Structure 1
Amino acid sequence: MKEPTVSLEQWYIFKVVVEQGSFQGAADYLIKSQSSISYAIQKLQDNLGVRLFEQQGRRSVVTAMGKKMLSRADELLMQAASIEQLAGEYSAGWEPLLKVMTTQVFPQNLLTETLALFVKSCNVTSIDFQRGSLSGVTDAATYGTADLIVSSQIPTGFSGEKLCQVQLSRFVHCQHPLALADKPLALADLKPYAQIVVSDSSRLRSRDAGWLGSQQRWTVSSFDESLNLVKQGLGHANLPISRIRDYLKRGELVELRMEEQVRIDLSLYLVYANKKTLGPAGLLFTQLLKQQAKQYVIDV
């Protein structure tokens, strides 16, 4: 890449000359001599090989090419100012990256609303969002791969606080044989049909939860994949009610009528990998997340 022959200061002087309408006006604005302004513009034109101004009587008027150069110069100067602002904000303590791991049952709207508020106060910190299940979520705290974790469990040795509660229940497609049963079902009635289970996302250990011992088990990596299979009538699965509300309203999915209560009330906790080292962006995000979680109403 060719090294630039024009400095930011020259582009800035050019911009000020155009805005002030004359070399003398630019000199007064920048508190410089008119000769230094004239020299800077002449040097700029020589380096570019184009005329930026033309004489019309006693006035110097920007040329058509000068107007095009001015447009690009504006962009360049704004980018430079943005870089300086970014450096200033980082030097003030904003961390460049925040890593957040959440369990897959965490309500998506809470995350979206929190992020919308976050960017109003901090636009320099990038956020790496990941979703996991079972041990894969708590591993993020244990092995330090995330700064903030939203989990249904607080790993041993870590601090956390309750955020909200979510509900899960067992669902099937409205045309599935289990949905057409004319009486409440026992767990034994489910065993002849495929059960869809979300796998443990941990690479180091695996925990089994929710398996009912059905004759056929389909294991998927996310609730979205589980939902897609249930929508096709291929099996029954535990799903977060907050994620399937629209399907329930349309009657596309139905909750199984069981002899025993099958709804699961699950508490979700905000866990800190290391609260003492959390920067201002992390503290802001947790404050907003807790604020939004207070407004969350459990599905019924």
Structure 2
Amino acid sequence: MLRISLEQWRMFHAVVEFGGFNQASQGVHKSQSSIHNAVSKIENSLGVKLFKIEGRKTVLTEAGQLMLQRANYLLQEAKKIEAIGQTLSQGIETTLKIAVDEIFPRTVLYQVLEKVSVQYPLLQIELIETILSGASELLSQDAVEIAISPISLGTGFSESLCYITFNAVASPTHPLHKLKRKLSLEDLKSYRQIVVRDSAHLHKDKKASEGWLEANQRWTVSHLQSSIDMICKGLGFAWLPVNLIEQQLNDKELIPLKLNENRQRSTQLYLTFKDGDSLGPAASSFIAEMRLQCLHLQNT
């Protein structure tokens, strides 16, 4: 059994917040005697002195300062519990799980997540970054509520969200740039290609390997950033999303290959979810904001 109530801790916090017992009584609309009694109850129960008088000021003792830190945490957690209860009563989900392909523009994603978080401050967001069919697999397994993927799920709702442009690139020192002529796809097959592994776990023998030219040598990595780093170091070539390598292109760390065809590629991304009626308000807000931001993206 707790010896000190949450209300008594609240009275203690009020004395500190408003700068004295008299001020606290006005701030929380309680009598000064009830606040004194609450603080005295804490002091007597714990055997510590929380306040001391210096001149006309009521100030915390060292023990009071320590207890204030704990009391602040306790009161904040109590507020969170009440807020979560209100959230649940309104049917707002507490967790939103989203799978997003790594090629999707990060700036747009972060803007959408921030706006949803401001609207639903208690929402816990779980972001899973995937490659190729990984997001669709997670959605099919009900591991996430929403997927942004280049693979359109056969069931549920899928809509075209945006198109991502890829450039064939290599570092300035790569031998392909030294050929000083237009390159064919056959030219590329003689050099190492960096390929990003499909993040799906099921049907490993059928994993997607989009973009692979069947080059004589292939390095396969799990993340796009690894591919970008390797290519910047002259270890191979690849088609990479332009939105992820803008800085490297501007700094001439990466240079587009002079292909006579297929210099650029475009991949469609889909926004997919299984059942719109089962989505909570936060998920619906994420979808609406994502549509809006991608519409702006296409118009720029």
Identity %: 31
1:272 equivalent in alignment to 2:270: no
What TM-score, normalized by structure 2, do the two folds share?
A: 0.86
1:27 and 1:37 in contact (8 A); partners too: no
Structure 1 residues 26 and 151, CA, compared in 2 at 3 Å: closer, same or farther? same
Residues 152-191 of structure 1 aligned to structure 2 (within 5 Å): 152-191=150-189
Q: Structure 1 length as normaliser, TM-score?
A: 0.86
The one-letter amino acid paired with 2:115 is: L
Q: Which runs of 5+ in 2 are unaligned?
A: none
Q: Would the aligned equivalents of 2:52 and 2:61 in 1 still touch at CA under 8 Å?
A: no
Distance 2:54 2:170 in 1: 80
Task: Find out whether 1:211 has 2:174 as its counterpart.
Answer: no
Q: Distance in 2 between matches of 1:123 and 1:210?
A: 40
Give 3-state SS (helix, strand or coil) of 2:297's partner. coil
Tell me the distance in 1 between the aligned counterparts of 2:7 and 2:294: 49
2:105 maps to which residue? 107
> Offset at 1:11?
2.0
CA-CA distance at 1:22 after TM superposition: 4.7
Moved more, 284-293 or 72-81: 72-81
1:208 match: secondary structure: coil
| 1:257–1:8 distance in 2 versus 1, CA, 3 Å | same
Is the CA contact (8 Å cut-off) linking 2:13 and 2:68 kept in structure 1? no
> 1:230 maps to what in 2?
231
Change (3 A) 1:169 1:27: closer
Q: How many residues align?
A: 295
Distance 1:241 1:74, change over 3 A: closer
1:187 is displaced (CA, Å) by 1.3
Q: 2:147 aligns to what?
A: 149
Evaluate the alpha carbon distance shift between residue 252 and residue 122 of structure 1 in structure 2; reply closer, same or farther with a 3 A threshold.
same
> What is the deviation of 1:245?
1.0
Tell me: CA distance 1:182–1:146, structure 2 relative to 1, closer, same or farther (3 Å).
same
- Separation of aligned partners in 1, 2:9 and 2:113: 37
Structure 2 matches for 1:7-26, cutoff 5 A?
7-16=5-14, 19=18, 21-22=20-21, 26=25
Distance 2:144 2:113 in 1: 17
Show the counterpart of 2:47.
49
Distance (whole Å) between structure 2 residues aligned to residue 117 and residue 152 of structure 1 = 24
Distance 1:112 1:83 in 2: 27
**Does the 8 A contact of 1:149 with 1:272 survive in 2?**
yes
Q: Is the 8 A contact 2:136 2:151 kept in 1?
A: yes
What is the Cα-based RMSD across aligned positions, in Å? Answer: 3.0
> Residue in 2 aligned with 1:295?
296
Shifted more, 67-76 versus 287-296: the winner is 67-76
* Per-residue deviation, 1:247: 1.1
Between 1:74-83 and 1:24-33, the stretch displaced more is: 24-33
Report the secondary structure of 2:225's partner residue: helix
2:61 paired residue number:
64
Structure showing greater radius of gyration is 1
Gaps of 5+ in 1: none
Q: 1:118 is matched with which residue?
A: 116
Matched residue SS, 1:295: helix
Structure 2 counterpart of 1:132, from 99, 117, 130: 130
Offset at residue 292 of structure 1 (A): 1.0
